[in-house]
Amino acid sequence: MQPRPIQTLFLSLVLTSFSLGYGQNLVQNGGFEDFVSCPVKMSNLNKDAAYWSAPTLGTTDYFNECSRTKLGVPMNFKGKQAPYEGAGYAGMYLYAPRDYREYIQVPLTETLQKGSRYRLTLFISLSEKSDGAVMDMGAVFTEKLLSVHTKRELSQGELLASAIQTTPIKQFPVTGYYQDKQQWMELSFDMVAKGFERYLILGNFKSNAGTNYLDNNDASKHNEGYAYYYLDDITLTYLGPEYQTDEVYVLDHVNFNFDRFDLQPKAEQSLKDIYDYLMKNPELKVAISGHTDDLGSDAYNDMLSRERASSVAQYLIDLGLDKNRITSKGFGDSKPLDTTLTDEARRKNRRVEFVMTKFEDENP
C-alpha cells in the first residue's frame, strides 16, 4: 500500500445530483401572469404569454384581466370564468370537429433528474359555450422545443416521428368528465423522470374517435361538437429520488472536512431524501457502507470507512429513523469501483453507498 498524504484525508463522492427544489415550481410562468403584451387578438398565446408556445398549428388563446377585448377576464368570447389565481390563464380546444386540437408547451426551469419523482398539477374549467366535455387530458415531456406541422391530434406515432426525444403520453387520472363550468377542477399525477425532460406539452393526444366525449347538444343534429377549456396554475414539483430495493446507490453530496467524520451542510438534503423515502416505506431498511481509495494502510482505511459510514447512519437516526432499520459497515479499499490507480479512479473509489432492502418475515 502507498502511504496516504495527510492532505488527502477527505472523501469526495460522485453521483448525478438530485434537484433540491422541494416545493419550487419548475414550470416557467405556470400561472400565466407574465405576458409580453396584453392580449388583443385570438390565437395569441405564442406572442403574448411569456415562455408559452403552441407546438402545432393549433391556435391556443391567452386571456388576461388587462385586455378590453374578447380575451379579457372574467368575460371573454368563450364565456365567463375568473382565474384560479392571479389575472391570466390559457384557453384551448381539447375536442373539435375533424380532430382539430390545440396544445401548449413550456420550457422547465431545469432538466429533470433521472430517477427522481415529480408531481404535475394543473387546474382546468370547461368554458360556458362548449358543446360537450371530455375526460382525456394528457402530458408529454420532451428534450427540445417541439414544432409539428399539423392541426390534428399529436399521437404517439407523430411524436416518435418528430426526431425529438419524448416521454410516452401520460394521461391524468379521471373519475368522470371534466364538465364543471363554474369551479376549477384539479388534475394531477406523479412521474419518475428519465433524465432528459426539458419541456412540457399539455393537451388531448387522442383523436375524436378515441376521446371520451360527452355531448350536451341535441343528438339528432349528428354534428361533432366542441370542448374548450381554460387552464391555470400549472406546477411541476420535485418529490425526491425513486429508489429501488436491492440496488446499490452512491450517496450524493456527502463530503467530509479534513480528518473529520462530521457531515457538511450540503450533504443534508441527500440524506433527508433517503430518510423521507424510508419513512414513507416502513417495510424497508437500509445498509450504509463506507469505502476508500488505495492510499494509506489497511487498518487506517478500514477505520476511516467505518467512521464515515457511521456518521451517515447516525445522521439518519438523528432525523428520526429507528436504529433497528439501519446498519453501517466499512470496507476500506477492498471494493474499488475502478482499479486503474489514477487520480480519477481514486476519486470514484472514495465513496459511501447504501442499499435498501425489505424486512424478512420472521414468521413465514
**pLDDT, tens digit (0-9, with 9 covering 90-100), for 174-219:** 999 999 999 999 999 999 999 999 999 999 999 999 999 999 876 5
Q: Does a structural domain hold residue 85?
A: yes
**pLDDT band, very low/low/confident/very high, at 15 (cuts 50, 70, 90):** very low
> Is residue 331 pLDDT above 70, yes or no?
yes
Query: What pLDDT was estimated at residue 54?
Result: 97
The three cell numbers of residue 181 are: 363550468
Domain boundary (241, 272, 307) is at 241
Nearest residue to 349 (alpha-carbon basis) of 337, 331, 332, 334 = 337
- The per-type count for the chain, helices as H runs and strands as E runs, is 5, 17
- Which stretches within 179-320 are classed as H helix? 268-280, 298-319
Domain count of the chain?
A: 2
Same domain, 215 and 102: yes
Domain boundary (187, 222, 241) is at 241
Same domain, 237 and 256: no
Query: DSSP label at 170?
Result: E
Find where cell 419513512 sits: 279
Domain boundary (241, 261, 284) is at 241
Query: What pLDDT was estimated at residue 11?
Result: 27
> Is residue 344 pLDDT above 70, yes or no?
yes
Same domain, 218 and 279: no
Q: Does a structural domain hold residue 28?
A: no
Same domain, 270 and 176: no
Same domain, 326 and 227: no
Same domain, 212 and 268: no
C-alpha dihedral over 7, 11, 15, 17, to 10 degrees?
A: -80
Spatial separation of the C-alpha atoms in residues 204 and 28, rounded to whole Å: 21
In which domain, by residue range, is 177 found?
45-241
Query: What pLDDT was estimated at residue 218?
Result: 61
Are the beta carbons of 318 and 359 closer than 8 angstroms? no
Digit-coded pLDDT (tens) for 79-107: 999 999 999 999 999 999 999 999 999 99
Arithmetic mean of pLDDT over the chain: 88
Q: Around Cβ 4, how many Cβ atoms within 10 Å?
A: 17
**Helix (H/G/I), strand (E/B), else coil: 102:** coil
Residue ranges of E strands in 13-111: 61-64, 75-76, 79-80, 88-95, 104-107
The pTM is what?
Answer: 0.74
Same domain, 236 and 94: yes
Query: What pLDDT was estimated at residue 243?
Result: 87
Query: DSSP label at 345?
Result: H
User: What CATH number is associated with residue 51?
Assistant: 2.60.120.260
